[in-house]
Amino acid sequence: MNTTGRRVLAVAAAATLLAGCSDSDTPTAGPSTAPSSSITRQTPPPTETPTPSQTPSATSTPSTTPSTPPANGCVDQKVQQLTLREQAAQLIMTGISTKGMTAAERSIAKAQKPGGLLLMGPGASASHTRTAMAAATTTATVKGIKPFIAADQEGGKIQRLKGSGFDRIPAATVQATWSDDKLTARAKTWGGQLKQAGVNMDLAPVADVVPASLGDKNAPIGALDRGYGDTPGKVGPHVAAFVKGMEQAGVMTSVKHFPGLGRVKGNTDFSSGVVDTVTTRHDDYLSTFAAGIQAGSALVMVSTVTYTKIDPNNRAVFSPTVIGGMLRGDLGYAGVVITDDVGAAAEVASVPAGQRATRFVAAGGDIVITAKASLTSTMVNALVAKAEQDKTFAAALQSSVGRVLALKQNRGLLSC
């Protein structure tokens, strides 16, 4: 691995579309040698001590045993208070209007109590957003557990909230010309605006590296000016700087789209059968995600692309190799893993909606994004049904709920 690839993982988060989503209402979001010794395993914060699964060898079969959340009396108490259905709902992030829930969305949130809400569509002013998000939070809160409120606030073409009170954020290609300190300072300002508006999570930054040879032919990143550069060395420091600024403002971030969308041509929101035939399990391009995690990103988003040199039989969001083997194993990441959109994205349209949720959780993931609010109950039902039938899956679901609630406790969305 080159010098940039030697960025190490030191922190993380068990407490710790285009995100998938574009500015439209339609969301955007193999065998190798042994892991490079230059990537060290993640050290959890002192207050949260998850035990990451053993790093798999290049020839081993990744374990599907869930990463166990840390011992935490408050979280354990909350998990026990929740019914199985309420636990499952904590793993769903449901799309709602940025201007406030529609009647249909409010009905769904009231009935299902999803653990997260994703803002969709063009936004209103910061003051209007604050009022709308307060109402949405009240609707989705269950037994004292508040929802994540997330937005795609990258900049340029991908900025959900643009009304009065929100700065217009330059595209990543412009941010890339700034010093790291300047980007951190600006991201802190943008994060402060989100925080004031009642938004606690930004599904950014983009850690994908689009090689110069592909450029604008890369539909999801390059063509939309979402990337920080064409090499890991250029991208990694800016990913870290953005994360640090948002964190200083008290807003969670999600580096995306692991293990990278930079080497594909199709956009999974609008195309199916999108495949990466280049990226390998221990690729230098993964160092940009390591940089974001090291900087304190609370979540990692996984793409819906199929990586033929990593797991040719599964899209990344359904791959135990990608989530359990690479992210939780090779990188030692013990925090919350979230999908790119699997509600309205064309890439997963052929997969039954319920299976999109169950297969992700079975692979080691935690939060399922559905831009289509109407699919929320279908996904919750599927998670519940599988947990009732399969003890191994039930354990995976509880582990995921534990990680989600630990993060919520850490961010003041849950108290005992």
Q: What are the boundaries of each domain within the chain?
A: 4-410
Task: Inform me whether the pLDDT recorded for 52 exceeds 50.
Answer: no
pLDDT tens digits for range 147-164: 999 999 999 999 999 999
Rounded to 10°, the helix 103-112/126-140 angle is 40
Question: To which residue do tokens 């079975």 refer?
Answer: 362
- In the predicted structure, residue 189 carries a pLDDT above the cut 80: yes
Give the Cα separation of 32 and 49 in Å (integer): 30
pLDDT given for residue 71 in this prediction: 53
Q: Is residue 262 within 8 Å of residue 231, measured between CB atoms?
A: no
Looking at residue 205, its pLDDT comes to 98
Phi (first) and psi of residue 244, to 5 degrees: -60, -40
pLDDT at 4: 37
pTM of the model: 0.85
In the chain, what is the straight-line distance between the N-terminal and C-terminal CA atoms, in Å? 45
> Phi and psi for 164 in degrees, rounded to 5?
-55, 130
Specify the range with the lowest mean pLDDT, choosing from 64-68, 78-82, 136-140.
64-68
Respond yes or no on whether the N-terminal peptide bond of residue 259 is cis (omega within 30° of 0).
Answer: yes
Q: What is the mean pLDDT of residues 5-13?
A: 37
Residue 239 in this model has a pLDDT that exceeds 80? yes
Tell me the per-residue pLDDT of 104-143, one tens digit each, with 9 for 90 and over: 999 999 999 999 999 998 888 999 999 999 999 999 999 9
Question: What topology is assigned to 4-410 in CATH?
Answer: TIM Barrel (3.20.20)
